[in-house]
Structure 1
Amino acid sequence: MKTLIAVLGLATAALAASANAQAVNRITNPPPAIILSGAIVPPGAEIFHLSGQLASPIDPSKPVTGPESFGDTKTQTISIFNKIKAILEKQGYKMSDVFKLTVFVAAAPNMGGKMDFTGFNDGYKQFFGTAENPNLVARSTVQVAGLAGPNFLIEIEATAAKVK
């Protein structure tokens, strides 16, 4: 009987702790902003830092012949977010658990030495602030001189957290 009472007590405590678990506090910006001012991760949350991800070739069955093998900034952004989504899911996370992105964007060939910020945002908006994932993220976006290879226009690091 003592064992049963102890087990019930532990189960009740676990349920109470779970019910009191705080979610990531997402500090919003006024509309039409599509990013957060910041995010506060509560103590005890598990944090997952993803390395920077690059785009996959549009058609992996074909040889890489140049930038056209990876597409424009929007196409590469979507490819990267799909990679991030798969990595997260493999570890039991969702895109809605992402609270911070660091984005490195190289100059696009057709942008006169500037990054294609609009192309990146168009891809970003397919994964954040949607019906499937209404969450936004804190984000830094930086234009860089180049990335790991001449075909890449964008690299994205993500940080996710979930409260246990």
Structure 2
Amino acid sequence: MAAMNEVNWLSAEEQRIWRSFLAATSLLQERLDRDLQRRNGLTLVEYAILVHLSEAEGRRMRMRSLADTVIVSKSRLSHQVARLERDGYVRREDCMEDRRGFWAVLTDKGAEVLRAAAPGHVAQVRKYLFDQLSQAQTAEFGEIVTTVERRLRDSSSD
């Protein structure tokens, strides 16, 4: 490891990979977001909120846990949930165990919009990501992103 005042610069190949990774993730998120908005009137973050609520026990999660799961700030989550609440897809409930906390709850209307959005979203994910990779590349990519995610989550206090 380089000393504190030394910079361990990226090699030309590492720089190329890093920049390609940034561009690919940005382009993928932008295309998926645009498609969801066009087809279903949802942003990618709103879709993720609905997905995580649909998978949660009782279709409900604490707002703090939901923010951590969707990987957005609490303020951004609050804004997104307010929009979903306005559209009738989610409702907030007081948390009796913690008077300061709230539950986000997926409504039947929210579950229906998610069911309608999911097939098109999955088709786009497949088109822009998995159809571009061989089975071996998919397995390797899975290992790579899982390793990076795990290490980033383990070192979240850095």
Q: TM-score range by the shorter chain?
A: under 0.3
TM-score, length-scaled by structure 2: 0.24
TM-score, length-scaled by structure 1: 0.23
More strand by share: 1
Instruction: Using CA pairs under 8 Å that are at least 6 residues apart, name the structure with larger relative contact order, 1 or 2.
Output: 1
More helix by share: 2
